[in-house]
Amino acid sequence: MVKVAILGATGYTAVELIKILLRNPDVQITAATTRQEGAPPIHSIHQSLTGRLNLTCEDLTPAEVCQRAEFVFCCLPHVASMEAVPGLLAGGARVVDLSADYRLKDPVAYEKWYGHAHTDAQRLAATVYGLPELWAERIPHQNLIANPGCYTSASILGLAPFLKQGWIDPTGIIIDAKSGVSGAGRAPKLNTLFSECNESVSAYSVGNKHRHLPEIEQVLSEASGQKVEAIFTPHLIPMDRGIIATIYARLKRSATDAELLAAAREFYRDKPFMRVVEHLPTTKDSAGTNYCDITVRQARGQAIIISCLDNLIKGAAGVAVQNFNLMAGFPETTGLLV
């Protein structure tokens, strides 16, 4: 029985994690943390867990967490995460960090994009970025995995085949992404009120101001061995979950739709969660699953790549469990094919 803890159990990612982990009979969730007082039972925070998990949420220190669990999913916000992770690792826990704190390799970039000096900067360079479709072999023996962002995964998984195989120009890429509202988290804010975002679409962070951009460029640059530059525009869509990234990239040579699809299929051969499809995927096709659906068309010298995934699952909790499965020695798909 593998004992796991969840730090920051009140958010949308945490409840998805719990539901996935409950499907693995060899895993036991032994701790869930919150700063809320009174040790509330988990089902009072997430009513959907009623009858499914008997656990109270406590305000535990990293050391206390390590006494209960071998593996820790850290669902804290950025900054809070890098304050907790060193203690978790020191206490012997192996950590999947779902925050942004260990994703960027460069502490200067971290400070620029997140507005805080990194307090655990010496760990950044060696931390593995947990995108199993690119780097599964790096993950099993790690003690700390930086779990990818949701927009990031959708963008990277759409672009990687074409960048690595040299079909497209690494600069001038346009990523126009659309996400359901759960990606904005569960803290009450005006702009995520139902009456504000229902029946409305809006772009935000327009002009390359979104924090997922440096992450996308860093990973794709490393993966393809060339400097990748993009313009990234996220949009808020009136739906709970799902991301579609519509990506425009200049083809370096003429190609048919069929050739591009074949290239993507070959690239993702044997990747259990990648579905390269001929039809145009909707976000609903992959909602509630760990799949990422990809297709591609060409027009006027551009590849138009469509990449869809569930932001809470393949974009967060699902890939976190993929990483955990690889680290803990479970089959990669455990709990994730339902």
Residues forming the active site: 150
Cβ closest to its own copies, residue 296 vs residue 327:
296
| Number of residues located near its own copies, criterion CB under 8 A | 75
316 lines the binding site for its own copies (CB under 8 A) = no
106 lines the binding site for its own copies (CB under 8 A) = no
Residue 311, classified by CB atoms within 10 Å of its CB into exposed (0-12), middle (13-18) or buried (19+), is buried
218 lines the binding site for its own copies (CB under 8 A) = no
Question: How many alpha carbons fall within 13 Å on the CB side of residue 137?
Answer: 0
Interaction residues for its own copies, span 145-174 (CB under 8 A): 174
- Beta partners for residue 29, in sequence order: 4
Q: How far is the CB of 228 from its own copies (least distance, A)?
A: 12
Interaction residues for its own copies, span 253-292 (CB under 8 A): 257, 275, 277, 279-289, 291
Residue whose entry in the numeric block shows the structure tokens 């050391």: 63
Cβ closest to its own copies, residue 176 vs residue 259:
176
Q: How far is the CB of 241 from its own copies (least distance, A)?
A: 8
Cβ closest to its own copies, residue 128 vs residue 304:
304
239 lines the binding site for its own copies (CB under 8 A) = yes
Phi-psi region of 222 (alpha: psi -120 to 50; beta: other; left: phi over 0): alpha
What DSSP string runs through 221-267? Answer: HHHHTS---EEEEEEE-SSSS-EEEEEEEEBSS---HHHHHHHHHHH
Interaction residues for its own copies, span 14-53 (CB under 8 A): 19, 23, 44, 47-48, 50-52
Residue whose entry in the numeric block shows the structure tokens 């360079």: 125
Residue whose entry in the numeric block shows the structure tokens 């000096």: 117
Nearest residue to 171 via CA among 230, 131, 113, 122: 230
Q: How far is the CB of 267 from its own copies (least distance, A)?
A: 16
333 lines the binding site for its own copies (CB under 8 A) = no
Interaction residues for its own copies, span 56-85 (CB under 8 A): none
